Amino acid sequence: MSIAAPFLVLLVLGGVAAYHRLRLASWVALSAAGLVACLLLGANATATVVGGVLLALVAVPLLVPALRQNFVTRPLLGFYTKILPPLTETERVALEAGTVGFEGELFSGKPDWNLLLSQPKPTLSADEQAFLDGPVEELCRMVNDWEITHVHADLQPELWEYIKRNRFFGMIVPKEYGGLGFSALGNHKVIEKLASISSVVSSTVGVPNSLGPAELLMHYGTQEQKDYYLPRLADGREVPCFGLTGPWAGSDATSIPDYGIVTMGDWGGARVVGVKLTFDKRYITLAPVATLIGLAFRMYDPDGLLGEKQDIGITIALLPRETPGVDIGRRAMPLNSTFQNGPIKGREVFIPLSQLIGGEAYAGKGWQMLVECLSIGRSITLPSTASGGARMGARVTGAYARIRKQFGLSIGRFEGVEEALARIGGNAYTITALAEASAAAVARGELPAVPSTISKYHCTELGRQLIQDAMDVHGGKGIILGPRNYLGRAWQASPISITVEGANIMTRSLMIFGQGAILCHPWVLKEMKAAGNPDRVQGLRDFDNALFGHIGFAISNAVRALWFGITGAMIGTAPGDSYTKRYYRKLNRYSAVLAVLADTSMLLLGGKLKFKESLSGRLGDVLSQLYISSAMLKRYEDQGRPVADQPLLAWSFHNAMHKLELSLSAALRNFPVRPVGWLLWVLVFPLGRRATAPSDRLGHKVAAILMSPNEARDRLGHGAFLTPGENHPAGRIDSYLATVVAAEPIERKFQKAIKGHEIEALDYVAQLDLALARGWITADERHQLDELRRITIDAISVDDFEPWELRSAGFGHGPDAEGSRVAV
């Protein structure tokens, strides 16, 4: 045998052990057995002995804990402690506030898919389904979005009354306090359905059930606060808002300049200890109509009335609207989306300590409270709104593209329009899967810090692209506002969801990977905690376990990434059916790649990584696409692996992998340490980049799904408000699709007959009369063509107005003038 044989055996067996993540002792035993086999098979004895010596030099120090900890771990711990960036209290709270779900497996390099696929299928309770079929359906029927956004610039009084009476504001409030006690999934489905008819209505309902007084009171409120406020919030006697953002602190919520000074003051006829607040908040949804204000501020105790600590920290209080000094400003107008929004100010507003949420015991714990609850709210309202819009957008655009004809063809038959329809269908499939996955995580009791940011960012970004494509397909129909327009306001409002609850630019570049790299990584947080352990002995033991676990983890992921890259991820065990196994294998590959890049970036850049926002954003994209793809596969499994949905799944998955590889490519080409970037490229893409955007053939199949009645289309639209009605033109157009498809053969026969004969009739009705008289069509077919004409006119018609009708709700009126519109 060759002199190189023992070394090749060590290399191969080491790779096998790393790929399968064998324990260190198992690797040593396997390698030793391999060397013995080499010797018995006639390998060069000297080379075999050298190989054995090298193995011993590595194995002995690592297998003997005393040697390893004293001569390897201890020096590394000292070095690690020096380079570890200090973790601020804000960062520590943010990291400890969330839980880790399946996204942690995606950072592992070897996901355990059973953990994902064994999660229960998201299912509504009987009460939740009944609410969707009853009060939610009726509320949707009542909505006239044009009246809301143009005529009244507000919900009509009857809508406000209906929402309050049916406890829409109390969906998350437990039943014992008079609420509906819905799960996060139930909350998601309600917001989704409302958003499919009006984003103003969905926002109005969504905000009280998101981050705000009710959510905070349920988790942290005193029993007295819960008993008083929760029933009033549930039945609408109190309309809540929450003041966090201000002119000087937006995404950087920890820098809020609003403050409260602990002092004595008068409240309820008594002299009590309280807080005198000065604040300036803006962009506060529901503020103009709110009766109960949740307020975040920084609390100070300069006179030591509560103790020695003067800077107590961020605190949250409840302010009744009528509290002296509270100034509710004028309404803001966010891009013609007329949900109630505006500023709140106050100067030296006194409240007692009993108005702090949780009382004095929770003074200074506001940041922790916000972080924990924000992950819940961010998982529901905005993703659900995008999901509702996506479901409706896909359904109605597909129907419109079949109804609307140019050059004698449905516009959806043109390849350029097909491309847009494919994006609409694929993005709708992606958004709806992701939104449901994040809601289901909350429903299982998780606090999904990382998935909530992924869901918020990608659902809103894809929603913006979807509405843009829908507008392009509709053309003039989409740009003429009026009662018949069901896209214009959604297109105008799409940047709002991009901006709120953490601007998307900041969410992508700072939060997704920034939190995920530490919170989801199986070893990093353990190393950080061990390094900071004041018990030096226990800290050394913990760091030793974490460090060598991390080293083995890194080696394994490098081997797995290279192997999958060479084989194209075509080999390896994977769940799923014959159609989806290849998808799981691809995710296994890129999970390993993500882990390698994350470890390399943290090792080489250390604390500087948080300032490399472009790199962080691109690695966050990789994590996001892995999570999104997992959510789509889980939905496919939950729905019984429907064959009809495979084009939607395939388009969405290939699109995700294409985006993932583009992000990887950009990250490697711009890696701060250039030689390392070149080496990583060879490891990650040994045969070059292979993922491509979805093919035209696949896009054609997706477009066909949207333009024809079928089960996949029905599933994609399930959850949207599709009931046709006078105030719901999108529902009417969607309902026409089957009639249009049935009439198309007759229409073609009629057009062929007209073109094949010389006729004098120019008017469409006269041509129909002539065709019937000459026997080219039957009476029943004439009726079908009349109906086709009627619904086509309804589908393509737009609105026009008298000049006075276009004046805004308050145009030319003072606050007391007759005809002025006043918010309820």
Q: Do residues 175 and 181 make contact, with C-beta atoms less than 8 angstroms apart?
A: yes
Contact 223, 176 (CB under 8 A): no
Residue 132's Cβ-side half-sphere holds a number of Cα atoms within 13 Å equal to 21
What are the two backbone dihedrals, phi and then psi, of residue 250, each rounded to the nearest 5 degrees? -105, -95
Return the DSSP state at 270. E
φ/ψ region of 82 (left if φ > 0, alpha if ψ in -120 to 50, else beta) reads alpha
CB 712 within 8 A of CB 642: yes
Alpha helices in 65-198 (DSSP H): 65-68, 74-83, 89-97, 103-106, 113-117, 126-131, 137-142, 145-146, 157-165, 184-195
Q: DSSP characters for 618-681? A: HHHHHHHHHHHHHHHHHHHHHTT--GGGHHHHHHHHHHHHHHHHHHHHHHHHT-SSHHHHHHHH
**Pairing between strand 259-267 and 292-300?**
parallel
Instruction: State residue 68 phi and psi, 5-degree precision.
Output: -65, -45
Nearest-angstrom CA–CA distance, 241 and 262: 24
Choosing from 501, 661, 747, 781, which is the catalytic residue?
501
CA-wise closest residue to 629 among 10, 19, 113: 113
Query: What would the two tokens of residue 597 be?
Result: 């890049």
Spatial contact of 578 and 586, defined as CB atoms under 8 Å apart: no
Contact call for residues 553 and 520 (beta carbons, < 8 A): no
Residues 6+ apart with CB under 8 A from 793: none
Q: 352 - beta bridge partners?
A: 274
Measured distance CA(407)–CA(646) in Å, rounded: 32
Helices 536-567 and 74-83 cross at an angle (nearest 10°) of: 80
The HSE-up count of residue 631 (CA atoms within 13 Å, CB side) is: 30
Q: Could you give the angle at which helices 646-669 and 581-605 cross, rounded to 10 degrees?
A: 20
Q: Which residues are 298's β-sheet partners?
A: 259, 314
Return all residues near 719 (Cβ < 8 A) that are at least 6 apart.
Answer: 189, 192, 193, 196, 387, 388, 391, 432
CA–CA gap between residue 660 and residue 689 (Å, rounded) = 11
Give whole-number Cα distances, 528 to 83, 95, 245, in Å: 11, 12, 32
Q: Are 587 and 111 in contact (CB under 8 A)?
A: yes
Picking from 609, 613, 712, 617, the residue whose alpha carbon sits closest to that of residue 659 is 617
Residue 419 buriedness (CB in 10 A; 0-12 / 13-18 / 19+):
middle
| Residues in CB range of 504: below 8 A, 6 or more apart | 456, 457, 460, 461, 498
- How far, in Å, CA of 711 to CA of 5, rounded? 59
Half-sphere exposure of 530 (CA within 13 A, CB side): 22
Catalytic: 501?
Answer: yes
Query: What region does 51 belong to: left with phi over 0, alpha with psi -120 to 50, or beta?
Result: alpha
Burial class (CB in 10 A: 0-12, 13-18, 19+), 367: buried
E-only strand ranges, 662-760: none
Catalytic (active-site) positions? 501
